[in-house]
């Protein structure tokens, strides 16, 4: 019998000892209905978003953190925490610490424009303000990774010139955040389904930029959902970029939902992380393949199925 189920089932069985007839049947039903709770810790630091279980946990971020911890998760993340009021940022961070949850990276809000790919003082001033805002979030929360999307391409400028501009602008950004130890993680995105027109698309492209920036605070994201669409070959690309990967995101494909809902063999990938003693946050950046509260609970079960010690 699976270790986690053995513990849970044994505890349930002991609680029923001495009950008989109708009372025992009622208790059994109660145990079954309360099986949402499972404190057995996951092997890896899968990090649900604060809104992933809102139908079961409600909309309050603190209640969501408590629910996430109660399901055995060891991490959580909120890409948009930078947009929350400062007092709420601190409250979330303090509660996460109490619950033993590590908070994953937040967004530096650099997507959508062309500030990284162009060379102008105006763009550099804009980027500087983004970096300073990220440092304030780091001070309040203790989160030491900021997600950077280098924006969109400029169709009027050769890609090589844009690449040079991205490298120079990132060097400036790393100089701003470096003393505080805020690591900037660059995320390649797919252009076929979700993000047409973005500059950074592929893992080798991201690695090349990190090598060129040559700063300890410049790392990359490997979002397995995006890269399955863009290039596939997931584990070999993880191996090729491993020294520069600062963050992992995941979602299955097609559909961008929980593991086991698509074509990616997450059981194999998570075992690969486990064998390398990977102990960093793995951001669950996806939706749910089934509707309602049951669909949310199915996400948890999916992670139980693919967890290396399952």
The pLDDT of residue 57 is above 80: yes
The pLDDT of residue 259 is above 80: yes
Q: Looking at residue 80, what DSSP letter applies? A: G
Mind giving me the DSSP string for 152-207?
Answer: B--TTS-HHHHHHHHHHHHHHHHHHHHTTT-EEEE----TTTT-TTBS---HHHHH
The pLDDT of residue 255 is above 90: yes
Whole-angstrom distance, CA of residue 176 vs CA of residue 36: 45
Domains, the chain, with CATH or none: 1-35 (no CATH), 42-306 (3.20.20.150)
Higher pLDDT, 75 or 31: 75
3-state helix, strand, coil in the chain (%, to 5): 50, 10, 40
* pLDDT tens per residue across span 146-164: 999 999 999 999 999 999 9
The pLDDT of residue 95 is above 90: yes
Give the pLDDT band (50/70/90) at residue 11. Answer: very low
Q: Tell me what pLDDT residue 16 has.
A: 35
Whole-angstrom distance, CA of residue 310 vs CA of residue 270: 11
* pLDDT tens per residue across span 279-308: 999 999 999 999 999 999 999 999 999 999
Give the pLDDT band (50/70/90) at residue 116. Answer: very high
Alpha-carbon Rg for the chain in angstroms: 21
% of the chain surpassing 70 pLDDT: 87
- How many CB atoms are closer than 10 A to CB 20? 8
Q: Tell me what pLDDT residue 38 has.
A: 59
Q: Tell me what pLDDT residue 120 has.
A: 97
Q: Looking at residue 49, what DSSP letter applies? A: B
* pLDDT tens per residue across span 208-249: 999 999 999 999 999 999 999 999 999 999 999 999 999 999
Give the pLDDT band (50/70/90) at residue 310. Answer: low
What is the residue-averaged pLDDT of the chain? 90
Q: Tell me what pLDDT residue 309 has.
A: 83
SS3 annotation, the chain: CCHHHHHHHHHHHHHHCCCCHHHHHHHHHHHHHCCCCCCCCCCCEEECECCCCHHHHCCCHHHHHHHHHHCCCCEEECHHHHHCCHHHHHHHHHHHHHHCCEECCEECCCCCCCCCCCCCHHHHHHHHHHHHHHHHHHHHHCCCEEEECCCECCCCCCHHHHHHHHHHHHHHHHHHHHCCCCEEEECCCCCCCCCCCECCCCHHHHHHHHHHHCCCCEEEEEEHHHHHHHCCCHHHHHHHHHHHEEEEEECCCCCCCCCCCCCCCHHHHHHHHHHCCCCCEEEECCCCCCCHHHHHHHHHHHHHHHCCCC
The pLDDT of residue 29 is above 80: no
As a whole number, mean pLDDT of residues 256-284 equals 98
Q: Tell me what pLDDT residue 23 has.
A: 38
């Amino acid at each position: 019998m699976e270790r986690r189920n053995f513990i849970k089932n044994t505890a349930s069985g002991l609680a029923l000892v001495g009950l008989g007839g109708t009372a025992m049947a009622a208790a059994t039903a109660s145990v079954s209905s309360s099986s949402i709770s499972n404190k057995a810790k996951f092997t890896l630091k899968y990090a649900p978003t604060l809104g992933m279980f809102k139908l079961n946990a409600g909309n309050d971020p603190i209640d969501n953190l408590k629910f996430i911890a109660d399901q055995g998760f060891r991490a959580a993340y909120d890409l948009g925490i930078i947009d929350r009021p400062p007092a709420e940022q601190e409250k979330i961070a303090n509660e996460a610490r109490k619950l033993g949850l590590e908070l994953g990276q937040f967004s530096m809000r650099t997507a959508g424009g062309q500030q990284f790919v162009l060379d102008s003082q105006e763009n550099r001033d804009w980027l500087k303000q983004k970096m300073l805002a990220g440092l304030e979030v780091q001070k309040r929360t203790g989160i030491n990774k900021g997600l950077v999307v280098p924006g969109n391409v400029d169709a009027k400028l050769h890609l090589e010139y844009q690449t040079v501009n991205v490298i120079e602008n990132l060097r400036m950004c790393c100089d701003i955040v470096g003393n505080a130890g805020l690591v900037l993680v660059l995320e390649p995105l797919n252009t076929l389904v979700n993000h047409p027109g973005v500059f950074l698309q592929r893992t080798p492209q991201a690695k090349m930029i990190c090598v060129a920036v040559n700063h300890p605070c410049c790392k990359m994201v490997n979002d397995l959902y995006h890269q399955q669409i863009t290039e596939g070959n997931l584990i070999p690309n993880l191996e090729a970029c491993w020294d520069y990967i600062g963050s992992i995101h995941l979602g299955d494909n097609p559909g961008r939902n929980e593991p086991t809902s698509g074509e990616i063999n997450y059981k194999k990938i998570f075992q690969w992380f486990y064998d390398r003693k990977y102990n960093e946050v793995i951001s669950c950046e996806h939706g749910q393949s089934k509707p309602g509260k049951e669909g949310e609970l199915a996400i948890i079960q999916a992670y139980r199925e693919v967890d290396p010690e399952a």
